[in-house]
Amino acid sequence: MTRSKFSFYIDISGNSFKPQEDKFTLPNSFLQGLGLDEDALLDEVEATTLLTRHSKFMELQVTFRTSGSMKCSRCLQSLPLHIERSELFIIKFWEQEPPMDNDPNLLWLPKGETRLELTSVFSDILLGLLPARFTCAGDENPRPCDQKVLEKLSELSVEP
């Protein structure tokens, strides 16, 4: 994986049990570097993190809000897209060796670490953010597909 020129992190050094909120704006250039679906055009993404400390672990709620447009999977019309997605992560601390763990929502940090790097967490969420199938008839875009384009497409894909 190529090294990103972006760095997003939060300070986790405090010990207040009051939830800590941080806000980030993920610019379009960060999104482009990830290789998202070419049929989508996203504006910048507003990311809000809410860190809650517990005595032995921390909880991190990450919420993404963005809008833009994406092409219909059937007729390729460009449609408005609004996304709000929230994910919960658990942060735990290791003392001698980092545990082998493949749970993507469990983040391990060395004990005493004072900051949490979020760039890869943000990248992972972004890569799963776009709907796999997005059509004119969907909840958000209740209108019919462009029939002319559908006809053209079916002509183009005739069996030889």
Q: What phi and psi, each to the nearest 5 degrees, are found at residue 125?
A: -65, -45
Measuring CA to CA, which residue among 74, 81, 111, 116 is closest to residue 96?
A: 111
- Residues in contact with Zn ion, counted by CB under 5 A, come to a total of 5
Identify the three-state secondary structure at position 146: coil
β-strand partners of 88 = 61
Is 72 a binding residue for Zn ion by CB under 5 A? The answer is yes
Is 42 a binding residue for Zn ion by CB under 5 A? The answer is no
74-111 burial, b at 16+ Cβ within 10 Å, e below that, comes to bbebebebebeeeeebebeeeeeeeeeeeeeeebebee
Min dist. Cβ of residue 148 to Zn ion (A): 11
**Around Cβ 30, how many Cβ atoms within 10 Å?**
20
| Region of 28-36, 42-50, 67-75, 124-132 interacting with Zn ion (CB under 5 A) | 67-75
| Region of 54-62, 68-76, 84-92, 152-160 interacting with Zn ion (CB under 5 A) | 68-76
Is 150 a binding residue for Zn ion by CB under 5 A? The answer is no
What is the per-residue binding string for Zn ion in 100-139, x denoting contact by CB under 5 A?
------------------------------------x---
In the list 20, 52, 74, 131, the residue contacting Zn ion (rule: CB under 5 A) is: 74
Q: What residue ranges bind Zn ion (CB under 5 A)?
A: 72, 74-75, 136, 145
